[in-house]
Structure 1
Amino acid sequence: METGMTVAYELIRSKRRTLAIVIDSEGKCSVRAPLQALLSDIEGFVQEKTAWILQKQQYAAVQKKRQFLVVDGIQLPVLDKRYTLRLAEVKEVQENGAVLLCPQRDSQQALEKWLRGQALLVLQERTAFFAEQMGVTYKNVKLSSAAKRWGSCSTKGNLNFSWRLLFYPSAVLDYVVVHELSHIGNMNHSCRFWRRVASILPDYQVRQRYLHEHSYILQWLR
């Protein structure tokens, strides 16, 4: 499709057989091409994919704007609360009503440490609560820093959850907990699995949709 627009790209040749376009998280476009590919063919390929490239670059730009930066005065969602972050002369993060006092030095590390501690407490409590409701047993609840997974369940019943679930509403965090608990004895996404989820959370699809629409949160504080 002719768009009448051009895009800048980095050409990378290698011992490959096909042309491919890669858009990184910063929106930078690179074209992977075979060693012998003609430049005219490469440019034609890029022109054909221009609309797709621009769409991906626009998405990357939006995601970048959604990044969370630790600066004084920023609003920080924590489950169903919203804190104002204040950099102060404190040694560790302190909660003062709707304000989080955060050390000025190594502020991001200090904030992440506090958030991880809060996340573990909440996830342990909610996992125990739903496991009892569902009549299942599990072994451990641990935190992860996965960039693309909210949670996981091993065949041995070990549960891992992203500590960044703390940035989601509590109803969404509960969905992830129930989702992973539903995998115990059922390591797939069959109809039986989803019936199990729905028996605990009939509105799970609403919560699931929110999770996917806000997947960029997994990139916060990286």
Structure 2
Amino acid sequence: MKEEWIKLKIGTMDVPVQIIRERRRSIRASMGKENVIMRFPINLPAQEEAAHRKRLTTWLEKQYEKKEGLFQRYQKADYQDGDTLRVGDRQYELRLRQEDRKTSAASLKGGQIVLRLNRDMDEQQASKAIRTLLSRVVAADYLPQITKRVLALNEQHFRRPIKGVKLKYNHSNWGSCSNSGNINLSTRLLFAPQEVVDYVIVHELAHLIELNHSHRFWAEVARVMPDYEKKEAWLKEFGAGCDF
């Protein structure tokens, strides 16, 4: 298997594309969580591959025209030393340090996040490490406030036992609830309006009563938040832009 990274101009955005050449017969493109993926047979002649790239790029442009928000996930912030990161009602000053170290780390003190990065990482690795570290630090800072809100909404509307509340950098969903009573929320949710945050919390708390998505479950959500569909619509339209 051979890999190559390029950037394509789709609409107004520079979209990262991972080209994978491998032992396969088909040609396809997919929109991954962090980049577009194009897959080609490893021995495909260059002229044929160029034609298929053009065809797949046209497909991406059509997807962009249908729903520009789908591509927001690929617009990652290019963090620089001294930048300000705004998350919800808080802001953090960022300090980036390139160091000779095996692993990267981050710490928060007095509103300043210091990121100590392995200087040997390439651009893609550094970008991913920064987002992960920022999420981890901000999660720890916000957890008491989010926990307080979860407990308040539970006491007001559900009054079910909760084992714990966690914030983690999750792209697969906005939240989850385990059958043991653990409420997990994505740190990406911190970029959403408070009423949308409340909706996701209510959604997960409703699972303490109905651990499914049955009519009974949605009735519980509607009982607490009759206009919950508006919050779901907001997440579908703008959720891709909620990220570090």
TM-score of the superposed pair, with normalisation by structure 1: 0.67
Query: Structure 1 residue 65: deviation in Å?
Result: 3.3
Match of 1:129 in 2: 152
Which of 22, 25, 28 is matched with 1:20 structurally? 28
Q: In the comparison of the two structures, how many residue pairs are matched?
A: 201
Give percent identity, aligned residues only. 25
Structure with more relative contact order (C-alpha pairs < 8 Å, separation 6 or more): 1
1:192 and 2:208 correspond: no
Unaligned regions of 5+ residues in structure 1, if any?
1-7, 95-99
**Residue 120 of structure 1 contacts residue 163 of structure 1 at CA under 8 Å; is this kept in 2?**
no
Shift of 1:158: 1.5
- 1:206 maps to 230
Letter in 1 for 2:162: Y
- Cross-structure match for 1:93: 109
Give the counterpart letter for 1:93 in structure 2. K
Compute the RMSD of aligned alpha carbons: 4.0
Equivalent AA in structure 2 for residue 83 of structure 1: Q
SS of 1:214 mapped into structure 2: helix
- Look up the SS of the partner of 2:61 in the other structure: helix
> How far apart are the structure 1 equivalents of 2:204 and 2:19?
41
- Deviation digits for residues 87-130 of structure 1 (CA, Å, limit 9, x no counterpart): 5xxx8432xxxxx4444867x68865552233211221111112
**How far apart in 1 are the matches of 2:18 and 2:115?**
40
Task: Within 5 Å, give how 1:50-129 maps onto structure 2.
Answer: 50-55=57-62, 62-67=72-77, 69=79, 71-74=81-84, 76-78=86-88, 81=89, 83=91, 85=93, 92-94=108-110, 100-103=111-114, 112=135, 114-129=137-152
The superposition leaves residues 62-108 of structure 1 with CA deviations (integer Å, 9 ceiling, x where unpaired) of 54435363643535132xx2537375xxx8432xxxxx4444867x6
Alpha-carbon distance in 2 for matches of 1:190, 1:121: 31
